Chain A
């Protein structure tokens, strides 16, 4: 079993537009408020929503119009990026006859620390989510 996920999609749009969207750090994480877009390598942006939680995303490397890499912590929402907690996300953008092909490779699941990674498997991650939601409800109710 490999510790990487690979997916791709064909998009019928100009390369520049797709590139702008793909390189917005953390575009795949919902954010309730607008986030400043800073594409400088090493920058960490934080995207946060009430529904999914807080996710810091680090810009790792950009190669204009072709490749963008980010690091995030998929199974430790709320925590800052630390060794043993992050995976690498690599987007490759390739021009095609009628648009652009975007591929994503997420890797490093084998290096994730166990306890929370194990939690992410199966039912416990759901119950965790519920615990958080109930906690939020409790805090609101007590205010």
Chain B
């Protein structure tokens, strides 16, 4: 099985929609979600599987039903990761700026 990254899992618009609808519930079954979405229960389950692979969703058995629940930690970790990458670009661009504006000073 290919382990999905959080961003890879969120790249699909329908999958994002599944996650958004699920986020409105404390926990919900695929049948409940499919009633709110323009796709079949089978497709909902498929998307939930991918979301689960990336850690964005957790499932638990409740009697005969399987209930799904959004996990927020992977989302915030990914957001933190992206903002740390953005901060790296800020410092690289600042370095570029000083090298362009002061070409006589050799910076390393």
A interface residues with partner B (beta carbon < 8 Å): 1, 3, 5, 7-13, 17-18, 21-22, 27-28, 30, 74, 100, 102, 104, 106, 109-115, 117-118, 120-122
B interface residues with partner A (beta carbon < 8 Å): 2-8, 10-11, 54, 75, 77-82, 85-86, 89-90, 92-94, 96-97, 99-101, 103, 108
Report the bound CA distance from A5 to B93 in whole Å. Answer: 13
Residues of A within 8 Å of B77, CB to CB, are: 121-122
Some 27 contacts from A to B, beta carbons below 8 A apart, are A1-B7, A3-B10, A3-B11, A5-B89, A8-B93, A9-B97, A11-B96, A13-B97, A13-B101, A17-B100, A18-B100, A21-B96, A21-B100, A27-B96, A74-B85, A100-B100, A102-B93, A104-B93, A109-B7, A110-B8, A110-B11, A111-B8, A112-B8, A117-B5, A118-B3, A121-B6, A121-B77
Report the bound CA distance from A60 to B79 in whole Å. Answer: 28
Residues of B within 8 Å of A118, CB to CB, are: 3, 5
Given A3-B11, A110-B10, A117-B5, CB of A28 within 8 Å of CB of B100: no
Report the bound CA distance from A106 to B34 in whole Å. Answer: 35
Report the bound CA distance from A114 to B3 in whole Å. Answer: 6
A5 touches B86 (CB 8 A): yes
Chain B residue, CB-CB nearest to A125: B81
B89 touches A120 (CB 8 A): no
Given A1-B78, A110-B11, A115-B3, CB of A11 within 8 Å of CB of B89: no
Given A12-B101, A18-B100, A122-B81, CB of A7 within 8 Å of CB of B5: no
Given contacts A110-B8, A114-B2, 10 further A-B contacts (CB under 8 A): A5-B85, A7-B89, A9-B97, A11-B100, A18-B96, A102-B93, A109-B5, A110-B5, A111-B8, A122-B80
